[in-house]
Amino acid sequence: MKALITTIVLFCYSLFLSAQATGTLTLNKKFGKPTPEELSMTVYAPDSSAEAVVLYNETTVDYNWALNDFRLNYNYKKRIKILKEEGISQANVNIVYIERKDNRTIKESVQGLEAYAYNMENGKMVRTKMKKEHIFEERLNDTYVQLKFSVPQVKVGTIIEYEYQIASDYYYQIRDWFAQENIPVFHTEFNVVIPEYFKFNTSAQGIANLEGNIEETNKTFNIGGQILSCSAEQKHFIGRNLPALKNDNHVWCVDNYAAQVNLELLGYEIPGVVYKNFTQTWEQIDEALLNDGDFGGRTRMSNPLKEEMEALNLSQMSNTDDKISAIFTLLKNKIKWNEKYAFYGKSARQILKDGTGNNADINFILISMLNDAGIQSYPVVMSRRDQRMLPHAHPSLEKLTTFVVGIANTDSTFVFLDASVQDGYLNILPPALLTDRGRLLIPGNSLWVNLQNIGKHSIRRTIQANLQADGTIKGNRITSYYGQHAADIRKTFRTAKDSTDFINQITAKNDMSVQSYTSKGLSDFSDTVRESITFEKQTTTTGDHIYINPMIFAQYTDNPFKQSERILPVEFAHAETININVMLTLPDGYTIDEIPESTKISTSDGSISMLYIITQQGNKVSIKYTFSISELLYAPDKYEELKKFWELLVEKNNAMMVLKKL
């Protein structure tokens, strides 16, 4: 056996779950024959909270010869045990495959689908076979079709089995294999046999380790009645006792961290017949995209809104930001974003006629408008944060999923904009687009840009309030929102039913009564929103005491990190700074009995910090509060530190001051 080829681990973090007890469960590879252990199983020992567990999963990939070319055959087999009511959803399965509307000759097809449910009834095992009426098909888009099926008679205690094959004409593109799922996996295997004619770059990655090896074998193909023999490599990967991976509010794309195997074609050669090299550099991908009529060609198209732009009088504007804003506002009034992201666009004429389009549709037109105005702009291609990240091991055109617009604001600086910006501004992109690897396609001089470093996101708030003897707080709160925080409050305003609903949301969120509300910038295309609120808020009183949180409006009231352990990293949406200054006047006839202590805390690397300074002078109490975070990604081994930091942060945000009547 040869050693496993290059292994890439996203984090230097090992899981030792393979050593955990699994009760009496033993490996069973025989389909159609659940064991008594599997049928009687009520809990999965390594994860007693599991709603279901994959008992066995097998994926086999092999090449054969179709009529005129190679073909890939995928064979899938899977067995699942349902342990809780929530796990019954595992009986609903989706299979996505390629069937392009514009090319029906090269496609994928699903074959040999069979599914069964196994239940114990009156001491006997009963097998129920899925019928055709439980199988449905639907087209997802111009490229993909989805086959959906539901295994019948599934309840707590059921064992599900299903198997199917996918025949794929895309022999040069082997699907990525994922060992981990949103439920635990007891045992999973991946086998792929690759003829000597194909050279793949293979990488195994993720937070859990996989076993793997390569063996030499042979392959034969029947090509028009002639037998072609060749050597081949059989690559075999095994995952054992793998934990469940579930998305949460602090992971953008859980697939980035799942144990997986990825194969990327480097080239293929049939001696004396054909040779093709698929090895690419990013520079080659840059050139291919810029020369592609459907992509680069659209970045050079004529401005379809040239006449409308003349009315903007751009020549009278001295500030480039103002020119960009005017152009973008005109475009957004002509075309609405359909809330979809894409990489390629349709014709500008059709998009303008429809009045709606995806971000690529609108971005291509934006580039043409900016270039027509003498403001150089270029596409910044990327994979969104909520999709799988671009591979570091090798360039990949297939992993690019969308693009934003990079605009030369000065000779040395760029600002960034996207058609999906409904509430933001220049450099204020939706967090899903704030990737650390965007490729700015400048002909002959493309470069990488980190979009996580653009824009400033902060809140500055001043509160002046008076505490009454009956426990009522009356005061004024003035807040300036910048960057993403301005976009967030604009979205709340835009999506509210009306102004009353908007105020009601503020009232409910802050547990206060709004006496008056004024704002500036709620409907503007800018980086700032300012608001002023006159409010009343009630504290707690008992006898001669008043209990009050001197911050009045806490930033954090609950710790989002409640897990005792975490196997996934923690990802934040964006960097930010929060500054809050409070000046509170106390009622006559009361003295402070207890007051929170001033505190300064930070993580060991200083990337997250909180400053809480409270002072008293006469009947006035003032607070200076600052919270900041500068890093967006924390490895799992930093989780315990984050958890403790947030415990202290929440404790200080909720700290109470006690007043006693004289």
Per DSSP, the residues of 614-650 read: EEEETTEEEEEEEEEE---EE-GGGHHHHHHHHHHHH
pLDDT at 443 over 70: yes
What is the β-pairing status of strands 185-195 and 52-65?
Answer: parallel
Output the pLDDT for position 379. Answer: 98
- 256 & 286 share domain: no
pLDDT tens digit string along 356-409?
Answer: 999 999 999 999 999 999 999 999 999 999 999 988 767 888 889 999 999 998
Q: How many helices (H) and strands (E) does the chain have?
A: 10, 36
Average pLDDT over residues 610-626: 97
What secondary structure does DSSP assign to 192-228, as a single string? EEEETTEEEEEEEESSS--EEEEEEEEEEEEETTEEE
E-strand ranges in 324-451 read: 336-337, 356-357, 377-382, 402-408, 414-417, 438-440, 447-449
pLDDT at 68 over 90: no
Nearest by Cα to 274 from 105, 68, 107, 72: 68
Output the pLDDT for position 272. Answer: 64
pLDDT at 246 over 80: yes
Domain that holds residue 328: 282-453
Residue 629 is assigned to a structural domain of this protein: yes
Round the average pLDDT of the chain to a whole number and report it. 92
- 78 & 51 share domain: yes
- 208 & 138 share domain: yes
pLDDT tens digit string along 503-536?
Answer: 999 999 999 999 999 999 999 999 999 999 999 9
CA 113 centroid distance within chain: 31
Residues in the chain: 662
Neighbours of 426 (CB within 10 A): 21
Residue 295 is assigned to a structural domain of this protein: yes
pLDDT at 600 over 60: yes
- 227 & 294 share domain: no
Output the pLDDT for position 412. Answer: 77
Residue found by looking up tokens 């840059």 in the block? 286
pLDDT at 453 over 80: yes
The CATH number for 596's domain is: 2.60.120.1130
E-strand ranges in 386-471 read: 402-408, 414-417, 438-440, 447-449, 458-467
- 438 & 465 share domain: no
Residue 603 is assigned to a structural domain of this protein: yes
Asked whether the whole model's pTM tops 0.85, one would answer yes
pLDDT tens digit string along 273-321?
Answer: 666 777 678 999 999 999 999 999 999 999 999 999 999 999 999 899 9
Quote the CA–CA distance of 566 and 643 in Å, as a whole number.
10
Question: Residue 600 is encoded by which pair of tokens?
Answer: 């300064």
**Cβ-Cβ contacts under 8 Å for 590 (sequence gap 6 or more):** 469, 546, 659, 660, 661, 662
Quote the CA–CA distance of 403 and 345 in Å, as a whole number.
11
pLDDT at 619 over 70: yes
- 235 & 184 share domain: yes
Q: Which ranges constitute the DSSP H helices of 311-451?
A: 320-334, 348-354, 359-372
Residue 3 is assigned to a structural domain of this protein: no
Q: Which of 453, 469, 502 is where one domain is finished?
A: 453
The CATH number for 338's domain is: 3.10.620.30
Residue 597 is assigned to a structural domain of this protein: yes
Output the pLDDT for position 297. Answer: 94
Q: Which of 453, 480, 497 is where one domain is finished?
A: 453
Query: Quick one: pLDDT band at residue 1, thresholds 50, 70, 90?
Result: very low
Say if residues 406 and 380 touch (Cβ distance below 8 Å): yes
- 628 & 550 share domain: yes
What secondary structure does DSSP assign to 218-262, as a single string? EEEEEETTEEEEEEEEEEEEEEEEEPP----TT-S-GGGTS-EEE
Q: Hey, what amino acid is at 632?
A: L
Q: Which of 211, 244, 277 is where one domain is finished?
A: 277
Number of domains in the chain: 3
Say whether 651 sits in a helix, a strand or coil: helix
Rg (CA), the chain: 30
Least confident of 260-269, 460-469, 544-553: 260-269
Nearest by Cα to 162 from 145, 175, 181, 149: 149
Say if residues 483 and 457 touch (Cβ distance below 8 Å): yes
Nearest by Cα to 603 from 572, 561, 552, 640: 640
Query: Quick one: pLDDT band at residue 260, thresholds 50, 70, 90?
Result: very high
- 405 & 547 share domain: no
Check the CA dihedral 479-482-488-491 and report its sign.
positive
More confident call, 278 vs 603: 603
Residue 324 is assigned to a structural domain of this protein: yes
Residue 633 is assigned to a structural domain of this protein: yes
Output the pLDDT for position 24. Answer: 61
- 271 & 287 share domain: no
Output the pLDDT for position 441. Answer: 97
Task: Tell me which DSSP letter residue 284 carries.
Answer: H
Average pLDDT over residues 146-153: 97
Give the DSSP H/E element, type plus range, for residue 495. Answer: helix 484-495
Quote the CA–CA distance of 196 and 588 in Å, as a whole number.
89
- 351 & 440 share domain: yes
Average pLDDT over residues 246-256: 92
The CATH number for 253's domain is: 2.60.40.3140
Q: What phi and psi, each to the nearest 5 degrees, are found at residue 402?
A: -165, -175
Q: Percentage of the chain with pLDDT > 70?
A: 95
- 120 & 203 share domain: yes
Q: 587: phi > 0 → left, psi -120 to 50 → alpha, else beta; which?
A: beta
Q: Hey, what amino acid is at 603?
A: T
pLDDT tens digit string along 15-52?
Answer: 333 333 345 689 999 999 999 999 999 999 999 999 99
Q: Percentage of the chain with pLDDT > 90?
A: 84
Residue 29 is assigned to a structural domain of this protein: no
- 466 & 377 share domain: no
Residue found by looking up tokens 């504290």 in the block? 539
